[in-house]
Amino acid sequence: MVKQDKKSTHILFSDDDTDDALLFTQAADLITSPILLSFAEDGEQLMRYLSKEMLPDMIFLDLNMPVKNGIECLSEIRSDKKLDWLPVIVYTTSDNSRDIDTCFELKANLYVVKPTSFESIIKTLKKILTIDFKKQSPPSKENFLLQNA
């Protein structure tokens, strides 16, 4: 999966749903861009990972996790000077406007309602990987919610 001539994109996937993690892994395996995946099963594990491991290029963050939820994690990430630059893609089943607004206010980079088909997961991941988060200014409210690709 990882090619030697190209730097791989390191994604930290934080979600307690093992089925979603498996589908995401399978989708990543089918994409031609080299991807290195790391996993956290709850918010506490995510924050421990970010304090001890090599930082990822981006985080896919579920909101509904045990121990510490995604909104708590996003708030901690954005208030930590060592982490506040990290692109955070909220990747959740929630399409609740209050959740979307809260994540926008906390400066998540994108909000994605989990796609319902495997093909849509692949398309969504491909689309996200084309975004250069280092050069992109914060999204406008209109561009914050990424609809199923």
- Tell whether the model's pLDDT for residue 71 goes beyond 50: yes
The model's pTM: 0.90
Average pLDDT of the residues in 65-94: 95
- What are the pLDDT digits (tens) for 95-129? 999 999 999 999 999 999 999 999 999 999 999 99
- Enumerate the domain spans of the chain: 9-146
Determine the topology of domain 9-146 in CATH. Answer: Rossmann fold (3.40.50)
Strand order in the sheet with 88-92: 35-40, 9-14, 58-61, 88-92, 110-113, 145-146
Q: Is a pLDDT exceeding 80 seen at residue 62?
A: yes
Which tens digit of pLDDT belongs to each residue from 38-50? 999 999 999 999 9
